Amino acid sequence: MGERSGASKLSTKDILYYVDEVPPLGESILLGFQHVLTLFGATIAVPLILGGAMGFSPDQTAILIGAVMVTAGVATLLQIFFGTKLPIVQSMSFSFIGPVLSIIKQTGGGVVSMQYVAGAVMSGSLIEIVVGWSGLIGKLRRFVTPVVIGPVIIMIGLSLFEVGAPKAGTHWPTALIVIVSIFLFSQVLSSRYRFFRLFPVLLAIIVGYAFCAVGTLTGIFPKGHPAYIDFSLIAHSPWIRPIDKMIFPWGLPKFDLAFFLTILAGYLASMIESFGDYFSCAYMSRASEPTSKVINRGISMEGLGCFLSGIWGGFATTSYSENIGLIGLTKVASRYVVGVAAILLILLGVFNKFGACIATIPEPVVGAMYCTVFGMISAIGVQQLTKVDMQSGRNLLIVGFTLFMALSFPAYIKGVPGLYNPSPINIGWAPWLANALNAILSTEMAVAAIVGLTLDNVIPGTDKERGLCG
């Protein structure tokens, strides 16, 4: 498998489908649908948050969600066939919420804001494409050791804690049914029945959805209850997205230098996160660590996906960590399964009825899924640290300080409700620079990467300590 595999020293006996293997069509569709369900909540969260900030109507928000899903599907196909060629799903990035909210605040919201957002996303994507094609990002490969990668991946999972228990806690009985089902299917029944090993998350969601459906139809869960399923959303949703809303649905993009510089902060955070995701995905897939060439291709394809997103009316895309966690649960690393998921995303974006069906999944079901999948991501980061000498005082200090600052400094910037107010960086003469710094330093993965990269390359250490040999 060339640049990606064949060199892994990890046991591969627990992988059901390797990166380049093609499962039967029926299995591929179900496995792909499982990926869609895993990313769906986070994917629609971004347009819901930003659409609300712009004051969009329900119809406009529906168009925005459709654009996001089509873009996610196309960007994923670019990544798995022309980028890293690993089973990495692409979708909307939370790293861009801060910069986009800043643009909305300065442009007053509505369609005009989306025109400026499209301009910023498209212009910023050109920088990401150049960074990838020039080989600049790949040159960092020799400076990024497991001492750096481990904490970054750990923070990818831990930074998402705010969407785990809070969502599951909207109705714990439902959430616990899903969580117990995931553990039961993936750890107990999987050893006896292959079906449960392949689809633990999908089956658990079906169990949770069925429980909510029964509660809804019998009146146990009234309208407004977190576990209530509003079937009218499916009935009232149009079948197909309007043709005139496929390209530049908000009008032609508008460009502004300040907004371009603001959005670059999101791209920087996104590239740092993707860098860690590539290693995480390769490790989980039992492929070899990505080479500089693979990293360069991956970043350039992410940039191309972002450019297309601006054309189709969405936001910038990046690699999705939660779907890497799903690989760990199912042991299915086939990129063709992810390709099926990408096609399903495109269909969901074009055919609104199907997207409406998934949109009715109750919040506690989604929250329960996050609790298990996001926790799996953090565990991947811990696995990375097994490659280095953790008996070394040097490594203990670097890893410990990096993890602490990755949690503490973003909290300092964003504030902690009930404890202290936000303390964002304020540069009066350069608000765009302040926005950029705030976007970067309020992102846990970015802080972990900056602190870890600096300390690991400044403090002397042997190749063995840094995980560069053996």
pLDDT at 144: 79
Domain count, the chain: 1
Structural domain includes residue 290: yes
C-alpha 264/C-alpha 224 separation (Å) is: 40
Containing structural domain, residue 42: 25-388
Structural domain includes residue 200: yes
Q: Mind listing the pLDDT tens digit for each residue in 208-243?
A: 999 999 999 999 999 889 999 888 877 777 787 777
User: What's the helix, strand, coil split of the chain in %, to 5?
Assistant: 70, 5, 25
Structural domain includes residue 402: no
Nearest Cα neighbor of 328 from 293, 371, 375 is 375
pLDDT level of residue 399 (50, 70, 90 thresholds): very high
pLDDT level of residue 334 (50, 70, 90 thresholds): very high
**Region label for 15, one of left (φ > 0), alpha (ψ between -120 and 50) or beta (otherwise):** beta
pLDDT level of residue 428 (50, 70, 90 thresholds): confident
pLDDT at 355: 65
pLDDT at 8: 47
- Mean pLDDT computed over every residue of the chain: 84
Structural domain includes residue 400: no
pLDDT at 42: 67
The burial class, CB within 10 Å (0-12 / 13-18 / 19+), for 431 is: middle
Structural domain includes residue 235: yes
Tokens of 423: 């303390």
pLDDT over 50 (residue 347): yes
pLDDT at 231: 84
pLDDT at 1: 43
Q: Mind listing the pLDDT tens digit for each residue in 248-272?
A: 988 999 998 878 877 887 787 788 7
pLDDT level of residue 10 (50, 70, 90 thresholds): very low
Which of the two residues, 119 and 56, has the higher pLDDT score? 119
Structural domain includes residue 58: yes
The mean per-residue pLDDT over the stretch 263-292 comes to: 83
pLDDT over 90 (residue 98): no
Decide: 200 and 186 in contact? Cβ < 8 Å. yes
Which of the two residues, 439 and 397, has the higher pLDDT score? 397
Provide the b/e sequence for 80-114 (b: ≥16 CB within 10 Å): beebbbbbbbbbbbbbbbbbbbbbbeebeeeeebb
The mean per-residue pLDDT over the stretch 174-192 comes to: 89
pLDDT level of residue 172 (50, 70, 90 thresholds): very high
Structural domain includes residue 74: yes
DSSP alpha helix (H) spans, 385-427: 393-414
Nearest Cα neighbor of 320 from 200, 137, 156, 81 is 156
Structural domain includes residue 87: yes
Q: Is 317 helix (H, G, I), strand (E, B) or coil?
A: strand
The mean per-residue pLDDT over the stretch 37-49 comes to: 73
Report helix angle 444-458 to 257-285, nearest 10. Answer: 70
pLDDT at 2: 46
pLDDT at 5: 41
pLDDT over 60 (residue 6): no
pLDDT at 284: 85
